[in-house]
């Protein structure tokens, strides 16, 4: 099975700060992978390195079958990989529908369109002409996911998608993530909520000090949750 995303021995920096230390990570087509670990171990830097927001100093990044020597923010989407960023990054002067259409700018063909997103998130259709930043936190996260789907990706990187959200919204998003994955889109879920990880992911990678130090199959049993939580204790 070919990897949609493959990082080999990646070293990445912010200025002089060495954050990723020989990191290895891959996500295959259709997989549901969780990237977990304590705060500050470099999980978001993995995303930022793929986007070129952190400096790749050594190692290799392959997006689908293409090696990316100098990553730039637009390159991942061109190869079918989109990011739902931490903080959501809703464009303030655009309506809900305009934010969704922005996600389609890459021009990839696929099943996701504005009507399909509205079927997935009916509240977004109700608020279609409302400024995106006027939505509640949970609705903004739905908009961020919908915008990502509008790019018709093969893989979505979800960076702390439930941060600060009420449990009822987390439950809704878990169902949505599973529906999206069931339809064939791979997921890389960066998350501190281990109950969500257990509901969505099939495989986990645990980070410490800028590299992957453990990995395994996700189990929703009490023992499995305890194992997951052992990697994110702060």
Kindly report, residue by residue over 77-136, the tens digit of the pLDDT. 999 999 998 887 888 889 999 999 999 988 888 899 999 999 999 999 999 999 999 989
41: pLDDT strictly greater than 80: yes
Rounded to a whole number, what is the largest CA-CA distance in the chain?
47
Torsion sign across C-alpha atoms 18, 21, 22, 28: negative
Assigned domain for 188 exists: yes
Assigned domain for 7 exists: no
Assigned domain for 14 exists: no
> What pLDDT, on a 0 to 100 scale, did the predictor assign at position 228?
85
Assigned domain for 123 exists: yes
| pLDDT tens-place string over residues 165-176 | 889 999 999 999
Compute the average pLDDT of residues 12-36: 96
Question: Rounded CA gap, 107 and 152, in Å?
Answer: 9
Banded pLDDT at 1 (limits 50, 70, 90): low
Banded pLDDT at 232 (limits 50, 70, 90): confident
Question: Rounded CA gap, 215 and 148, in Å?
Answer: 27
154: pLDDT strictly greater than 80: yes
Distance of CA 23 to CAs 32, 129, 162, 173, Å? Answer: 19, 43, 25, 29
Proportion of the chain above pLDDT 90, given as a percent:
76
Our count of domains for the chain comes to 1
Q: What is the CATH number of the domain that holds 149?
A: 3.40.50.300
Assigned domain for 206 exists: yes
Assigned domain for 196 exists: yes
> What pLDDT, on a 0 to 100 scale, did the predictor assign at position 148?
94
Assigned domain for 215 exists: yes
- Which token pair is 100? 């969704």
35: pLDDT strictly greater than 70: yes
| pLDDT tens-place string over residues 195-217 | 999 999 999 999 999 999 999 99
**Domain of 176?**
31-53+76-229
| pLDDT tens-place string over residues 45-63 | 999 999 999 999 999 999 9
Compute the average pLDDT of residues 64-76: 91
Compute the average pLDDT of residues 187-194: 94
44: pLDDT strictly greater than 90: yes
Assigned domain for 83 exists: yes
12: pLDDT strictly greater than 60: yes
């Amino acid at each position: 099975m070919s990897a949609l995303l493959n990082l080999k021995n990646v070293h990445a920096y912010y200025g002089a700060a060495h954050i990723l230390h020989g990191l290895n990570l891959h996500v295959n087509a259709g997989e549901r992978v969780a990237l977990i670990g304590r705060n500050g171990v470099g999980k978001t830097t993995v995303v930022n390195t793929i986007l070129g927001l952190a400096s790749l100093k050594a190692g290799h990044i392959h997006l689908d079958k293409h090696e990316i020597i100098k990553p730039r923010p637009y390159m991942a989407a061109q190869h079918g990989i989109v990011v739902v960023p931490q903080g959501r990054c809703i464009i303030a002067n655009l309506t809900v529908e305009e934010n969704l259409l922005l996600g389609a700018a890459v021009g990839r063909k696929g099943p996701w369109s504005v009507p399909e997103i509205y079927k997935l998130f009916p509240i977004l259709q109700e608020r279609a002409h409302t400024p995106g930043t006027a939505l509640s936190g949970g609705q903004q996260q739905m908009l961020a996911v919908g915008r990502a789907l509008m790019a018709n990706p093969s893989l979505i990187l979800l960076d702390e998608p439930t941060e600060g959200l009420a449990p009822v919204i987390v439950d809704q998003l878990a169902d949505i993530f599973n529906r999206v994955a069931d339809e064939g889109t791979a997921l890389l879920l960066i998350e501190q909520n281990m109950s969500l990880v257990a509901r969505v992911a099939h495989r986990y990678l645990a980070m410490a000090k800028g590299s992957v130090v453990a990995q395994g199959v996700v189990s929703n049993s009490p023992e499995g949750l305890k194992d997951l939580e052992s990697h994110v204790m702060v």
